[in-house]
Amino acid sequence: MIKLKRVYDEVDKNDGFRILVDMLWPRGLSKEKARIDLWLKNVAPSNELRKWFAHQPNKWTGFKRRYFKELDDSKSELTELIQKKAEEGVVTLLYAANNEEYNNAVALKEYLKKRELR
Answer positive or negative: Cα dihedral of 46, 52, 57, 62: negative
Cα distances (angstroms) measured from residue 33 to each of 7, 11, 36, 111: 10, 9, 9, 29
Percentage of the chain surpassing pLDDT 90?
A: 86
Coil vs helix vs strand at 103: coil
Which residues have CB under 8 Å from 32's CB, separation 6+?
none
Per residue in 27-60, pLDDT (tens digit) is 999 988 989 999 999 999 999 999 999 989 999 9
Look at phi and psi of residue 16 and say left if phi exceeds 0, alpha if psi is from -120 to 50, else beta: left
38: enclosing H helix or E strand: strand 38-39
Give this prediction's pTM. 0.92
pLDDT at 118: 59
pLDDT at 75: 80
- Work out whether strand 91-95 and strand 38-39 pair parallel, antiparallel, or are unpaired: unpaired
